[in-house]
């Protein structure tokens, strides 16, 4: 679209000038010749009309602008050539806006013009739709072999996506994870009940719910009530979701406008969709609560005179190397898995390997997407766990800390359609998604308590 607009702007002086010369009685071919000449400062301007006069000034400006753009393009190509030699160079493909935003956050990055495959180590596919991104990868799979590849997803859950040697990232997921870490529900430390209103209709709301359930665990006796307007399909699937503590989930069927007075009374209001100015206007007149409004373009201007409005979800701040690659989180997750295998799994009783790093990678590669994600969300909660310990002024891994970890573990399984139960041997049944440990912490055998302690100990050592 930008290229088309630029082309039209460049040709506009020739069109205007040509019309002007024709109106002055010139033949069409002569009018065209003379209008083109104006781009090269060669214009017949003797007693011509105002259209020609406008054109003779605009045409040289377009020429100078064109030369400047060509020089800029050449300079960018030279810079990209040298950047490609950097060990951490990354090529960006796909949507123009998303690639520009990502490039601004990555020092050694190249936007692949015309999506031409670049000879660099890492490749990030930021196409407008996930189908485009996956098609592009499959088309260029041979050229991307043995490279780091990251593909943006939209509606598909990263947990369900699996292509060898490819990592997936979901922008809504990144926004949701970042939101609860940046704006934790610390009110749960002191308030008997914390009420949260979540309003929206798309995938972002569902991700906010998903990661809210996994991360908002602060005390054993907390009571967080999630009031939800929207996310109907999420409600259909998880309507009977067990929170494993005193938290509650309430799905509202009436419209938000019908229940504005109720929304205004909750402790926190989250608007998970853009263009909600009318709703914001009404809410600021009714509430004293904090209002968090989604603003992906970073253009929100608070014209409501209400101090407790907080924009979130700016793509410029979300599309960073760490958020896309999650290298730190991946390292944590891999280490959690390795320690678990060493204490309870395939490495139990074995001599320490000569190359622990290789063993860690081998074990990680053998995991299903579900188990990889399980380890990732275990590492993700560490930020909140440290907040909990700081509030308690104690770094001891006691029963309460372990119980919070168990609740988080249970919620992850329940959100992914597991239920309490076992096979004939009393063990978990992967096929039927049954697990004997999906029950209150107090009912678990002592050895299961130690597993939670071990997981937390690993994270505390690596945090």
The model's pLDDT over 157-215, given as tens digits with 9 standing for 90+, comes to 887 778 888 999 999 999 999 999 999 999 999 999 999 999 998 899 999 999 999 99
Output the pLDDT for position 183. 97
Output the pLDDT for position 417. 93
Q: Mean of the per-residue pLDDT values for the chain?
A: 89
The model's pLDDT over 325-336, given as tens digits with 9 standing for 90+, comes to 999 999 999 999
Output the pLDDT for position 402. 95
Residue in 377, 371, 400, 413 with CA at minimum distance from that of residue 241: 413
Residue in 438, 446, 412 with CA at minimum distance from that of residue 212: 412
Q: What is the C-alpha to C-alpha distance for residues 58 and 14, in angstroms, rounded to an integer?
A: 9
Alpha helices, DSSP H, located in 239-276: 260-264
Residue in 213, 216, 137, 202 with CA at minimum distance from that of residue 171: 202
Q: What is the C-alpha to C-alpha distance for residues 174 and 212, in angstroms, rounded to an integer?
A: 13
Give the residue, 146 or 17, on which the prediction is more confident: 146
Q: Just give the CATH number of 184-294.
A: 3.40.50.720
**Token output for 131:** 């189908």
Residue in 199, 286, 188, 203 with CA at minimum distance from that of residue 251: 199
Q: What mean pLDDT do residues 214-222 have?
A: 97
User: What is the residue extent of each domain of the chain?
Assistant: 2-69, 83-174, 184-294, 326-462
Output the pLDDT for position 364. 93
Confidence band for 70, pLDDT divided at 50, 70 and 90: confident
**Token output for 22:** 């024709």
Confidence band for 124, pLDDT divided at 50, 70 and 90: very high
What are residue 194's DSSP bridge partners?
A: 224
Least confident of 15-24, 80-89, 106-115, 305-314: 80-89
Residue in 376, 412, 410 with CA at minimum distance from that of residue 169: 376
Confidence band for 47, pLDDT divided at 50, 70 and 90: low
Cβ of 168: how many Cβ atoms within 10 Å? 23
Helix (H, G, I), strand (E, B) or coil at 79: helix
**Token output for 316:** 């410029």
Least confident of 60-64, 68-72, 145-149, 434-438: 68-72
Confidence band for 82, pLDDT divided at 50, 70 and 90: low
Percent of the chain with pLDDT over 90: 59
Output the pLDDT for position 43. 63
Share of the chain residues as helix, strand and coil, in percent rounded to the nearest 5: 55, 15, 35
Q: What is the C-alpha to C-alpha distance for residues 50 and 425, in angstroms, rounded to an integer?
A: 92
Confidence band for 78, pLDDT divided at 50, 70 and 90: low
Output the pLDDT for position 59. 80
């Amino acid at each position: 679209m930008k290229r088309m607009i630029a082309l039209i702007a460049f040709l506009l002086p020739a069109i205007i000038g040509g019309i002007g010369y024709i109106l002055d009685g010139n033949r069409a071919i002569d009018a065209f010749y003379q209008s083109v000449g104006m781009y090269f400062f060669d214009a017949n301007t003797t007693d011509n009309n105002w259209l020609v006069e406008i054109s003779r000034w605009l045409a040289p400006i377009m020429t100078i602008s064109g030369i400047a753009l060509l020089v800029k393009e050449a300079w960018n190509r030279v810079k990209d050539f040298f950047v490609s030699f950097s060990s951490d160079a990354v090529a960006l493909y796909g949507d123009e806006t998303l690639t520009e935003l990502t490039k601004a956050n990555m020092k050694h990055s190249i936007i692949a013009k015309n999506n031409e495959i670049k000879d660099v180590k890492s490749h990030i596919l930021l196409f407008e739709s996930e189908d485009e991104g996956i098609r592009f990868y499959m088309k260029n799979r041979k050229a991307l072999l043995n490279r780091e590849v990251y593909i943006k997803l939209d509606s598909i859950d990263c947990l369900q996506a699996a292509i060898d040697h490819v990592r997936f990232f979901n922008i809504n997921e990144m926004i949701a994870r970042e939101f609860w870490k940046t704006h934790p529900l610390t009110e749960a430390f002191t308030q008997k009940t914390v009420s949260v209103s979540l309003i929206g209709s798309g995938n972002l709301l569902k991700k906010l719910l998903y990661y809210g359930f996994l991360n908002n665990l602060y005390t054993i006796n907390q009571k967080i009530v999630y009031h939800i307007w929207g996310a109907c399909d999420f409600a259909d699937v998880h309507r009977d979701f067990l929170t494993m503590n005193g938290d509650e989930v309430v799905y509202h069927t009436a419209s938000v406008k019908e229940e504005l007075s109720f929304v205004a009374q909750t402790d926190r209001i989250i608007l998970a969709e853009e263009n909600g100015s009318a709703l914001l206007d009404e809410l600021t007149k009714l509430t004293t609560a904090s209002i968090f409004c989604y603003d992906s373009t970073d253009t929100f201007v608070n014209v409501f005179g209400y101090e407790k409005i907080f924009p979130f979800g700016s793509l410029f701040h979300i599309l960073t190397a760490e958020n896309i690659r999650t290298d730190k989180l991946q390292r944590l997750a891999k280490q959690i898995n390795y320690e678990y295998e060493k204490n309870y799994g395939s490495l139990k009783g074995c001599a320490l390997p000569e190359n622990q790093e290789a063993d860690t990678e081998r074990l990680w590669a053998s995991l299903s997407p579900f188990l990889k994600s399980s380890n990732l969300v275990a590492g993700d909660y560490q930020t909140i766990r440290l907040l909990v310990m700081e509030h308690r002024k104690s770094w001891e891994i006691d029963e309460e800390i372990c119980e919070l970890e168990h609740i988080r573990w249970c919620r992850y399984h329940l959100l992914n359609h597991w239920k309490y139960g076992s096979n004939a041997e009393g063990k978990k049944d992967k096929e039927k998604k049954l697990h004997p440990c999906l029950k209150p912490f107090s009912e678990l055998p002592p050895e299961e308590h130690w597993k939670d302690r071990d997981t937390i100990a690993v994270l505390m050592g690596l945090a």
